[in-house]
Structure 1
Amino acid sequence: MRFADTVTLITGAGTGIGAATARRLVEEGGKVVLTGRREAPLREVADPLGESALVLPADAVDSAAMKAVVAATLEKFGRLDGVVANAGGHGLGTALETDDAGWKLALDVNLTSAFVTIREALPALRVRGGSVVLVSSLAGLFAGPGVAGYTSTKHALIGLTRSIARDYGRDGVRANAVCPGWVRTPMADEQMAAFGAGKGLDREQAYKVVTENCPLGRPAEPEEIASVIAFLASKDAAIVSGAVVTADAGASSVDLPTIAFVD
Structure 2
Amino acid sequence: MAEAFDGKVVLITGGGTGIGAATAARLAGEGARVVVTGRRRAPLDEVAAATGALAVPGDSSVDADARAVVDRTLAEFGRLDVLVVNAGGHGMSAVADTTDEDWRRSLDGNLNSAFVMCRAALPALVEARGNIVVMSSVAGLFAGPEVAGYTVGKHALIGLTRSMARDYGPRGVRVNAICPGWVRTPMSDQEMADFAAAADLPDRESGYAAVTADLPLRRAAEPGEIAAVCRFLASDEASFITGAVLVADGGGHAVDLPTVPIGRAM
Taking structure 1 as the reference length, the TM-score comes to: 0.98
- 4+ runs of 1 displaced by more than 6 Å? none
Gap runs ≥5 in structure 2: none
Matched position secondary structure for 2:133: strand
The separation in 2 between residues aligned to 1:41 and 1:241, in whole angstroms, is 31
* CA deviation vs aligned residue, 1:156-207 (integer Å, no higher than 9, x gap): 0000000010000011100000000000000000000000012232111110
Task: Kindly report which structure 2 residues correspond to 1:22-41, keeping only aligned pairs within 5 A, or say none.
Answer: 22-41=24-43
- Is residue 232 of structure 2 the alignment partner of residue 212 of structure 1? no
Which residue does 2:100 correspond to in 1? 100
Aligned length: 261
Partners of 2:50 and 2:186 in 1: how far apart?
20
Q: Does 1:254 align with 2:255?
A: yes
How many Å separate the matches in 1 of 2:196 and 2:109?
Answer: 26
Identify the residue that residue 86 of structure 2 maps to in structure 1: 86
Aligned-pair distance for 1:68? 1.0
Match of 1:16 among 3, 15, 18: 18
- Take 2:85 and 2:211, find their aligned partners in 1: how far apart are those partners? 26
Q: Please, what is the CA RMSD of the aligned residues?
A: 0.6
In the TM superposition, 1:98-177 aligns within 5 A as 98-177=98-177
TM-score when scaled to structure 2? 0.97
Matching of residue 5 in structure 1 with residue 7 in structure 2: yes
How far apart, CA to CA, are the structure 1 residues paired with 2:50 and 2:136?
28
Per-residue deviation, 1:86: 0.2
Name the counterpart of 1:47. Answer: 49
Q: Which amino acid aligns with 1:210?
A: V
User: What residue identity is the alignment partner of 1:234?
Assistant: S
Q: Distance in 2 between matches of 1:149 and 1:251?
A: 22
Which letter does structure 2 place at the counterpart of 1:3? F
Letter in 1 for 2:181: G
